[in-house]
Chains A and B, each alone.
Chain A
């Protein structure tokens, strides 16, 4: 059976850079293009007609403008396939500028004047949407409050659940991972220039739950392995081992989830089902990001924090040096990078009770650790054959 030996901790800078780069690109897009709110959130109007024959969008725009006195942009999309019958349709979408809704009388007037100019086009409403700005705004606020409530509830769950895993620090990193995923979903909307709508809220909430689950699985394994293996391999090694053990499952599960959503995306895209594509695309990104953030962000952050703590502690208590002998050898911790070169083996603070095997706290002071590479292959195999 294949076992993964990926160096998640050592490569953390690459992972962090990838995330930061995507976030940076998203911010740039956000600055240049801004973010659009859907009609349901900001108010406004849209009508999509099917028609036959030929029409000129510019002419349609001017007809509509003359009829109701509002600026409108007409977009034609041709040969929209129907999944229920063989025929294809040509559609024209009228998007009205501004956030005002369009009265029923005006909608009827538009259709009437279009019918007059194009008597053979047989305009039929495919879908229409007209929302009053006040209602849109209150719906938007409601959705944001929903996300906040979800976030708070999940925080409470994290606080309860992580008492056994790694205490406050781990909770904070789990939340960082969640924020990372929300950012990724948000920037998907920004970069692909999709208007934020109810789908955005649905995807964000789903990904919050989905990603947290992954993080918990990783942190749970870290805790279990610390009990089983001790800290021979250092925190970096321990986290690497733990992530590698859960990696198979993470890949499979996010793989099947991604696969199903991708199928939905492809089919919906083929049939131009907009309301479904704007759901499926961010969900695909969110599923990937959820797995990625747990493995490549939350795990390494945890190691960095623990090592930082050790360093601080060591600086404060240099005289306790001798106690370090109680801890196990540090031989094969990790390829000491600049930042970890004089790092200590770990110490428990938040998680004392979890390490029955270790009598004392490792408290070595600034003793440079021997550098050796490729270490944890040889050790810390728990159950992989």
Chain B
């Protein structure tokens, strides 16, 4: 057998400890006044609503007729705008055009004292009030989560003079145009007004030529175009100096359309969880995880002795890798919203994860009892166990992938059955899959390296340490 140098054991073990430490605690420091996170740890994990507390709700139009895609987009844009206005940035919105559903999931804000999901839902689903107003005076200016200024609460003439209301707008559509100065293709928004709207707008644009008419949703200003021409036929465009991007244009069009939505949004399903319950769940699961890890680790040492110790170091690496895959430790892996089933998946993986080590260790033990030398037993045991380990992982991997495909936000079955409301199983699939991969990485490669390396030490030459007979 190829000898693995003695220091390898310590190097691998140290690297695993380092990974474990950084993936659990993360690395953060002070950058001037701002705490900066260099490497994300467990505390940076994004928790799902079943842990943070929060609301998951489904809105549907309160009409019998099917809503158009544009109408659903408008409804979605209302909800998104209101989320942002409420400082909820961590929301998820999924719109199902086939079934006319908008699923919204958002965590409870940590600074909010009382938990009142019903109030939050009412705020989100209230009919949008879109207005065109004179001027652009407002009393509040804040910075939104995207760094752009947000203007709120009209005042002065802007508050008093409402030129158009949402239902005066027949349609707002993004359309392609060519920018006159740069010649580049950009987007603008084409508005078509109703008959009454056309009359009102003709009067107003005549009076306010070369001044600003601002467009508001609820009490937030969403656009403030300048009137270039008197508009008498009810057709006009909103453009910006450099032109809109496609997404900006459709976002604005959706918001303007929201004021003319022919239906109210009703709540067809609502799940809410109190943050207190969620915190208790998280602490309980942490406790369960630590106990499970300790018991499995002790079991391995008791049964497999030195090999069990090596397996435990690998197991620590496995768990660390799972944390890393969830928290966004690696820049190329996005952080993943963790839910209670997700944590259960981690703990389940602790139990299942020693499988690779058990297969290899029992094989080595068999070889030792058959009278092989230590080196030969380790080599043979590793060789013979590989296919069984591979097999063991592949079936569970298939299942984990199906779980993710089915319970993910948009998935293979959504087309038929609609977007699903229960996203908690999604992260179970993810932790199960990550568990399998890390089991493979650590249970096979690092365990082997460490076993081969440590077996080079004199103190570790006894077969008994590997489960073999006493000499």
Contact = CB atoms under 8 A, between A and B. Distances in A.
Interface stretch (A20-28, A141-149, A303-311, A329-337): A141-149
Given A1-B369, A139-B422, A267-B288, A125 B417 contact: no
B33 interface: no
Contacts of B347: 260-261, 263-264
Interface in A82-124: 82-85, 101-104, 107-108, 111, 124
B12 interface: no
B417 to A, nearest CB: 4
Given A252-B303, A263-B288, A273 B403 contact: no
A217 B274 contact: no
B292 interface: yes
B413 A142 contact: yes
B351 A257 contact: yes
B370 A385 contact: yes
Interface stretch (A54-62, A208-216, A231-239, A369-377): A208-216
Contact of A128 (B117, B413, B428): B117
Contact of B413 (A146, A212, A276): A146
Given A264-B292, A268-B288, A149 B402 contact: yes
Contacts of B288: 263-264, 266-268
Interface residues of A, number: 80
A161 B398 CA distance: 14
B35 to A, nearest CB: 24
B292 A84 contact: no
A139 B282 CA distance: 27
A154 interface: yes
A253 B295 contact: no
A248 interface: yes
Contacts of A217: 388, 391-392
B402 A83 contact: no
Interface stretch (A8-16, A179-187, A194-202, A320-328): A194-202
A259 B281 contact: no
A57 B295 CA distance: 42
B344 A248 contact: no
Interface string B368-384: 01110000000000000
A132 interface: yes
Interface in A248-291: 248-249, 252-253, 255-261, 263-264, 266-268, 270-271, 273, 275-276, 279-280, 283
B299 A256 contact: yes
Contact of B366 (A101, A127, A146, A384): A384
B299 A255 contact: yes
**Chain A contact residues, majority secondary structure:** helix
The 5 closest A-B pairs by CB, nearest first: A260-B351, A209-B399, A257-B351, A83-B283, A142-B417
Interface of B: 50, 58, 60, 99, 101, 114-118, 121-122, 266-274, 276-277, 279-285, 287-288, 291-292, 295-296, 299-300, 303, 340-341, 344, 347-348, 350-352, 354-355, 358-359, 362, 365-367, 369-371, 387-388, 391-392, 394-400, 402-403, 406-407, 413, 416-418, 420-422, 424-425, 428-429, 432, 467-469
29 contacts: A1-B467, A84-B279, A84-B283, A85-B280, A101-B269, A102-B270, A126-B274, A128-B270, A131-B268, A139-B417, A142-B406, A146-B413, A161-B391, A198-B424, A201-B425, A202-B403, A202-B428, A209-B396, A216-B392, A256-B296, A256-B299, A256-B355, A259-B292, A259-B295, A264-B288, A271-B284, A273-B340, A275-B424, A385-B469
Given A146-B406, A202-B403, 17 more contacts: A50-B274, A124-B115, A125-B117, A128-B270, A131-B268, A131-B269, A132-B268, A149-B402, A157-B395, A206-B396, A209-B398, A260-B296, A261-B351, A266-B288, A384-B370, A385-B369, A385-B370
